[in-house]
Amino acid sequence: MRKILLLMVLIIIAVSVCCFASCADNDSYLVREEILKQFDLSDEQEYWSAEGVNNFEEDKVRVVFKKTTTYPELSLDDFPLDNALKIEYVNLRPDEDLTNLDSDYLKNFRQIADIYLRQTGKDEILEAVACLEKVPFVKFVSAIVDYINPPINAGTPQIDEFISIEKISMQFDVTEKKVFWTGSIDNDFKDDRVYVIFKRTYTYPELEIDDFNFHNAVSIDYKSVKPVTAIENCSIEYLLYRYRQIACIYLKDTGKDKVIEAIEYFQKLDFIKCAEPDINQYPDDDGNE
């Protein structure tokens, strides 16, 4: 009798594991009509490819929903993923303070959510992506990838508290992981400027130098403000993972110590992904830098 009970328990565990790692059967998954009506199903779907991508987060996938004007807050029951643990929205609805900033903001706004998995790993991520791509109101789903190359001397210094700036931080995905420069004054870099890479944004604000509240900043020169092509023609993957605003911030008082002081400040801003010096480049024997 004990052997039979033990066998039954093992079967139940095996079935549970199987279910968590798979997608619900299409026949058993029916999207409620009231949900479908809230999305523009003609919004063209895009597909993520994991080819050549080796490093990505293994505990959650990012879902971009199709266009909507009602911005419903869905629950896990609205998805066929058996391995789902919880859902957290990154973009739920447009911010009222931003709707008048740019006509592109509302036109290109998409709800975005992270779905965390019970069982984690690269295989589970790929299974979740394949499962959620079948959902009719999902525009794009992928693993969370960071294509930004870390600066030279990257590290993880201890920062007790990050700085948030009203009406600015809200335009960026402040949950995106930071990358820190941990070089020293002995490194060879220009002494009058700092480069900053902003966290991902869907409003592409062009900030003024006073917006940073840094006493020694004199001017800002954007190297990249918006995607080169029209926003609506860019792929979702490009906007989510590859594109970042980049700017060079010039200093009033110059010196390598002032550059390091500026980097330490900008690294604390919650909407900055990384800040680094402008490393001096020297031509080689062929004249190439």
pLDDT digits (tens, 9 = 90+) for 174-206: 888 888 888 899 999 999 999 999 998 877 889
pLDDT digits (tens, 9 = 90+) for 226-250: 776 544 455 666 666 678 899 999 9
**pLDDT for residue 230:** 45
Distance CA 169, CA 81 (A): 32
**pLDDT for residue 16:** 39
**pLDDT for residue 259:** 96
Is residue 132's pLDDT more than 80? yes
**pLDDT for residue 72:** 95
Distance CA 288, CA 39 (A): 52
**pLDDT for residue 93:** 85
What's the sign of the alpha-carbon dihedral 116, 143, 54, 147? negative
Is residue 273's pLDDT more than 70? yes
**pLDDT for residue 212:** 95
Distance CA 242, CA 200 (A): 9
- DSSP string across 58-86: SSEEEEEEPP-SS-----GGGS-BTTEEE
**pLDDT for residue 160:** 63
pLDDT digits (tens, 9 = 90+) for 252-271: 999 999 999 999 999 999 99
Per-residue confidence band for 281, with pLDDT thresholds at 50, 70 and 90: confident
Is residue 6's pLDDT more than 60? no
140: closest CA among 222, 239, 274, 70?
239
pLDDT digits (tens, 9 = 90+) for 77-129: 999 999 999 999 988 887 765 555 555 667 778 898 999 999 999 999 999 99
**pLDDT for residue 98:** 58
Average pLDDT, the chain: 81
Is residue 17's pLDDT more than 70? no
pTM exceeds 0.85 for this model: no
C-alpha distance from residue 146 to each of 59, 199, 237, 243 (Å): 15, 11, 11, 11
- DSSP string across the chain: -HHHHHHHHHHHHHHHHHHHTSBPPTTT----HHHHTTS-TTS-------TT-----SSEEEEEEPP-SS-----GGGS-BTTEEEEEEEE-S--TTTTTT-HHHHHH---EEEEEESS-SHHHHHHHHHHHTT-TTEEEEEE----PPPPTTEE----S--B--TTTGGGB-TTSPP-EE---TTS-EEEEEEEEEEPPBSS-----GGGG--TTEEEEEEEESS-SS-GGGS-HHIIIII---EEEEEESS-SHHHHHHHHHHHTTBTTEEEEEEEE-----TTS--
**pLDDT for residue 182:** 85
Per-residue confidence band for 9, with pLDDT thresholds at 50, 70 and 90: very low
Distance CA 113, CA 115 (A): 6
pLDDT digits (tens, 9 = 90+) for 33-68: 899 999 999 998 989 888 877 778 899 999 999 999
Q: Look at the chain and count its residues.
A: 289
**pLDDT for residue 149:** 60
Is residue 29's pLDDT more than 80? no
Work out the average pLDDT over 144-157. Answer: 63
